[in-house]
Amino acid sequence: MPRGQAAAVERRRERVGRRGTGQDLPIGYQGHMLTTFLHRRGLRGWYLHATSIASVGLCIGLWIRAKTVDQTERGNAERRAIFVGLWPPTLWLVGDSLERLE
């Protein structure tokens, strides 16, 4: 490193702390805010895993139903099924985060 840069890097490390330890977060901010909040409210990881699996079933049900409606409403029904199909990965990952917190 050029002279002076090593000192600047060291000052920055002292100021922000080591990454991933929570020391580089602003004052008053706690890591895992969402998962901590949900856990304190009584939500558990397996609830979200079950909801994720249920939303897969709901998506399949909406997709099958979209095939039975007339052509003018089919596009809207398919978009609704696709929208519900986006929920499972999010719910599953939040459930995993809650399980890690437990």
CA dist 33 and 35 (Å) reads: 6
For residue 34, what pLDDT band results from cuts at 50, 70 and 90? confident
Q: What is the pLDDT of residues 11-29, one digit of tens each?
A: 766 665 555 454 554 555 5
9-23, 30-44, 78-92: which range is least confident on average?
9-23
The rounded Cα 3 to chain-centroid distance in angstroms is: 43
CA dist 33 and 90 (Å) reads: 16
59: helix, coil or strand? helix
The C-alpha torsion from 29 through 35 and 40 to 44, rounded to 10°, is -170
For residue 90, what pLDDT band results from cuts at 50, 70 and 90? very high
pTM of the model: 0.62
Quote helix, strand, coil % in the chain, to nearest 5.
Answer: 70, 0, 30
CA dist 45 and 78 (Å) reads: 30
Q: What is the pLDDT of residues 42-82, one digit of tens each?
A: 889 899 999 999 999 999 999 999 888 888 888 888 999 99
